[in-house]
Amino acid sequence: MTACFTLLVFSDGDDSFGHWHWGSSRPICSPSRATCHAEYHTPGEQARSPSRSVSAAGCATGTGSESRPMAALLLSRARWLLVEHPAVASFRWQPGRTLGATPSFAAAVTCGYLAAVLVLHRLVLPRLPPLPPRALRLASAAHNTVLLALSATMAAGCALSTAAAAPPPRWAWPFCFPPGGATEASGPVFFWAHVFYLSKVYELGDTLLILLGRRPLTLLHVYHHAVVIAMCYLWLATRQSLMPIALVTNAGVHVVMYSYYLCCSVGLRWPRRLKRAVTELQIVQFLFSFTASVVMLWLHFTAGGCEGMAGWVFNAVFNASLLALFLDFHGAAYKAAKGNKGKAE
C-alpha cells in the first residue's frame, strides 16, 4: 500500500522573489513504485507540470516512513510562523518609535524595578498577610508556564531566523555582523531580539513571586534582573555581534530553568543533583559566551571588523560579573548542602 504525503506551496506568480504561500495540490502516486509527485494549482490557473513537484513531498510504503514528510511539514509551518510571517519578516527597530526603543525606557524600567523591590520588601509586604499557598502556587505555575513557552519559542525562532538570514560564510554571520552600516536592525533575527528584550520586562515578575512567597532575595537575582534590561536594549541599539548566539543559548538555558521552576510550583521536586545542574548549566552558558567572544574578536581583527562592539564590551563585563556571582552562589550552596549532609550522617 502506498501513502502520499505532500507539503504544498505556490507563488503569487513570480517564483524569483521567494514569497511563498500555502496552496493546494493533487498528489499523484504510482501504484507500482513508491514515488509521489505533486501538481501545483494556483488561483485561476490550470495544473502545472508534474515535474515541478515539491522537494518536501514524499511517499511511504508500509510503516516507518511517515515521519519524514510530517517532519518536513512541521518544519515548514514553523518557519512560516517564526521567520516568514509578515509581522516577523517586516520588523524594523526604529529608535523613538518601536516599543522600548529609547534609553529612557530601559532606564525607567530598571529604576522602577529597583524602587518597587525596595518599597515592597521594606514597606508594603511586612504589613500584609501572606498569600494562601495554593494561590501562590497557581500564580507561580502560570508565570513559569508562560516563560517556559516563550523561551522555547524565542530559541526556535531566533535559530531558524539566523539559519535563514545568514549570508555566506553562514557560520561567521551569527558571530560577527558586518560593520559600517551594512547591518540593519530589521528582519526576523532582530524581531526575536526585540521579543527577548520585552520578555525580560515580564520576567521581572520572578522577583514579585519571591517577595510574595516571603523568600529571601539574593544580590545575584536583583542585579541580574535589573541590568539585563540595559543589555538587551544595547543588543538592538548597537546591532551587537554575537546577539543571535547569546539569545539562543540564553533562551535554551531558560527552557531548562523554567521547567525546573514549573515542576517545583506544582509539587514535583527534582533530585538535588539535578537542581545543582541547573545552576551549573548557567555557569556553562557564561563560559560558552566567552568562547564565542574569542571567535568574534578573531573575526573583528582579521576580517574587517564587527558591528556593535560597544554593546559587546558592556555585555562581556556584565557576563563576567554574573559568572563571579554564580560561582560564589554555587560554592555557597554546595558547601551548605555538604554541611547538612554531614550533620545528617
Give per-residue pLDDT as tens, 15-25: 333 333 333 33
**Side-chain-facing half-sphere of 298: CA atoms under 13 Å:** 8
* Cell triple for 321: 560579573
All structural domains of the chain with their residue ranges? 2-62, 88-344
Output the pLDDT for position 317: 97
Residues 6 or more apart whose CB falls under 8 angstroms from that of 30 comprise: 2, 36
Q: How far apart are CA 135 and CA 37, in angstroms?
A: 56
Q: What are phi and psi of 32, to 5 degrees?
A: -95, -20
pLDDT of 264 over the 80 cut: yes
pLDDT at 98 exceeding the cut of 70:
yes
Indicate left, alpha or beta for 277 from its phi (over 0: left) and psi (-120 to 50: alpha): alpha
Instruction: Give percent above pLDDT 70 in the chain.
Output: 78
Residues 6 or more apart from 127 whose CB is under 8 A from it? none
pLDDT per residue as tens digits for the range 329-343: 888 877 766 666 555
**Residue 65, pLDDT score:** 54
Give the three cell numbers for residue 315: 555585555
For the chain, the average pLDDT equals 83
* Section 103-116 average pLDDT: 98
More confident residue, 49 or 320: 320
Distance CA 332, CA 327 (A): 9
pLDDT confidence of residue 342 = 52
Does residue 14 come out as left (phi exceeding 0), alpha (psi in the -120 to 50 range) or beta? beta
CA distances 72 to 2, 28, 57, 156, 282, Å, are 19, 18, 8, 15, 32
**Percent of the chain clearing pLDDT 90 (strictly above):** 71
The pLDDT of residue 337: 65
pLDDT of residue 339: 61
Q: What is the mean pLDDT of residues 224-239?
A: 98
Residue 40 contacts by C-beta under 8 Å, 6 or more apart in sequence? 8, 10, 23, 25, 47, 48, 52
The confidence band for 67, taking pLDDT boundaries of 50, 70 and 90, is low
pLDDT at 28 over 80: no
Rounded to 10 degrees, the C-alpha dihedral 202/74/53/6 comes to -140
Q: Residue 260 and residue 266: Cα distance in Å, rounded?
A: 10
- Residues 167-205 have pLDDT tens digits of 988 999 999 999 988 899 999 999 999 999 999 999 999
The yes-or-no verdict on residue 51 having pLDDT over 70 is: no
